[in-house]
Amino acid sequence: MIISKKALPRRTFLRGAGTVLALPLLDAMIPALSSAANTPANPARLRRLGFVYMPMGCDVTRWTPPGDTLDELSPSLSPLAPVKQKVAIISNLELRSAYPGTHATSNASFLSAAKAKRTESTDYRLGTTVDQVAAQQIGKGTQLPSLELSMDLLSVVGQCDNGYACVYQNNLSWSSPTTPLPAEAHPRIVFESLFGEEGGAVDRRAALKRRASLLDSVTAELARLQRTLGPEDRRRVSQYLESVRDVERRIQQAEAAAGENPLPDLDRPMGVPASYADHARLMFDLQRLALQGDITRVITFQLARETSNRTYPEIGVPEPHHPLTHHGNDPDKIAQVAKINQFHVSLFAEFLQKLAETPEAGGSLLDHVLYLYGSGMGNPNVHDHVNLPIIVAGGAAGKMQGGRHLKHREPVPLANLHLTLLDKVGVRLDSFADSDGQIDDLFQPLSM
């Protein structure tokens, strides 16, 4: 890399052996970007979009805020308190295309708002998902057009749910009606897709012994870069690189712990933390680094598959998630489902707090992204797809009005929200799937 006293280009990389390290948005880059309307540097534009999927709906009585504001949060949403002015809760959205109500169609329709073809074979068909519609435009100039992540390491094959192929539950993201995009749950593989690969599994293990950190291979170039930057940019680069180093350190610790385990672990390859929460935090941190470095601008993340039988002993829920959702109105089971909902929201809230603490372009990284968190199922006990649990976060640079609970009197297509989010990141469509308009009151009009 050649560094001059001119403004740095946004696509500035540090390169080392097997490593390509993108830099966060710096003040030194902004002069070069000031005339570019569609970049994160322009505070009037949002160009990054994320989606987090929560499986199997919720207990709506513990989810729904009591008022029109978030001054008082519901039990399931209470972890959002530190960032509540940066989020909006939207009630009474529906997925008409997900009926007849199944787990497979809940997952498949969440981002596509399309009707899944009922098949147990490979002739599956759905629709292009909203994230991929965005990636086709705003992902063109990035290292990765989109990033697909999950928490489940094994993808079940065959027939999974009432005549629907497992592909519908395994994949949130589809680049075409017949092309699902598999998600990655292994932190090391994700890390190396962002910052450079070292070959296969054997090569990767050998590489760990050869180097303490990927940053070691760019040390000289980094030192040269730092000499050209102002104090605030030097601090920002140092914080970003320390975050990269911290994530790599945690992955290495998880790999070491797995390597020391004398028993075979078929479900948890090396590098995956044993704790669900630690694994989720690591995957969220990888998203933060990918967004901060502008490695990708579109992310999907599946917190768990539909019909997941995962247990959550760390929060006092030793029973499998899926059977609990078929609670038959048993108050004890409903309370357990609500604890899982709150736990998942707490992990998302931690992520939002970290984005809010990351400076960018006169605000925070959270201001310059939009995240949609939610489920394709409403009441899991009856498998309905109305009154979906939905959170929208970030977006202050696009004038999203946070701290509010938007309640629709009649059910509104979830596709209306997808169309709105696409519009806010600069992807202009007349309609998306079964949309019949945008959710105009989510954002203030942009001044011209």
- Whether 120 and 161 have beta carbons less than 8 Å apart is answered as no
Distant-in-sequence, close-in-space partners of 280: CB < 8 Å, separation ≥ 6: 151, 303, 347
Tell me whether residue 160 is exposed, middle or buried, using C-beta atoms within 10 angstroms of its C-beta: 0 to 12, 13 to 18, 19 or more: buried
Q: Which residue has the higher pLDDT, 261 or 78?
A: 78
Cis amide leading into 65 (omega within 30): no
Give residue 24's pLDDT.
74
* Each residue's pLDDT tens digit, 150-209: 998 766 655 577 789 999 999 999 999 999 999 999 998 898 888 775 544 555 555 555
* Each residue's pLDDT tens digit, 265-289: 434 445 688 899 999 999 999 999 9
- Residue-by-residue DSSP string for 98-153: GTTT-HHHHHHHHHH--PPP--SSS-------HHHHHHHHHTTTSSSS-EEEES-S
What mean pLDDT is reported for the chain?
A: 85
HSE, side-chain direction, 13 A CA sphere, residue 182: 11
Give residue 43's pLDDT.
38
Assigned CATH class of 46-185+277-283+297-442: alpha beta
pTM here is 0.83
**Which 3 state secondary structure label does DSSP give 360?**
strand
- Residue-by-residue DSSP string for 285-354: HHHHHHHHTTS-SEEEEESS-TT----BGGGTB-S-HHHHHS-TT-HHHHHHHHHHHHHHHHHHHHHHHH
Instruction: Work out the pLDDT band at 258, boundaries 50, 70, 90.
Output: low
Domain ranges of the chain: 1-35+191-271, 46-185+277-283+297-442
Strand order of the β-sheet with 404-413 is 147-150, 298-302, 49-53, 370-374, 390-394, 87-94, 404-413
* Each residue's pLDDT tens digit, 98-149: 998 899 999 999 999 999 999 988 899 999 999 999 999 999 888 899 999 9
Residue 439 pLDDT greater than 90, yes or no: yes
Give residue 259's pLDDT.
57
Pairing mode, if any, of strands 173-176 and 363-364?
unpaired
Residue 423 pLDDT greater than 60, yes or no: yes
Instruction: Work out the pLDDT band at 257, boundaries 50, 70, 90.
Output: low
What token pair was written down for 49?
């979009």
Instruction: Work out the pLDDT band at 224, boundaries 50, 70, 90.
Output: confident
What is the 3-state composition of the chain as percent helix, strand, coil, each rounded to the nearest 5? Answer: 40, 15, 45
